[in-house]
Amino acid sequence: MTWTAADLAAVEDAIRELAAGERVVTVRYADGTENTYGQANLSDLRKLRQEMQGEVATAGRTYRAIRITPRSGY
């Protein structure tokens, strides 16, 4: 699944709510799917957040190849 910044924000909100004492939180992702997490899933949510952060951070990057050819005589 390709994660979006909105998905990452939803997971971060869920982590904050669970850390603040909520028993159960529901996360709705950009593709319309929902997952419900409880206190026992807090470590899973943190792992998911790390995965998402890496994917979202590299999603905006584009790479371009540059070829450097030396001129003769230099």
Contact in structure between 10 and 29 (CB atoms under 8 Å): yes
Record: fold of 5-59: Head-to-tail joining protein W, gpW (3.30.1580)
The pTM score is 0.70
- Strand, helix or coil at 66? coil
Contact in structure between 12 and 20 (CB atoms under 8 Å): no
In tens digits, the chain (74 residues) has pLDDT values of: 788 889 999 999 999 999 898 899 999 998 999 999 998 898 999 999 999 998 888 776 666 777 777 777 65
**From CA 49, how far away is CA 53, in angstroms rounded?**
6
At 62 the pLDDT is 63
Summary count for the chain: helices (H), strands (E): 2, 2
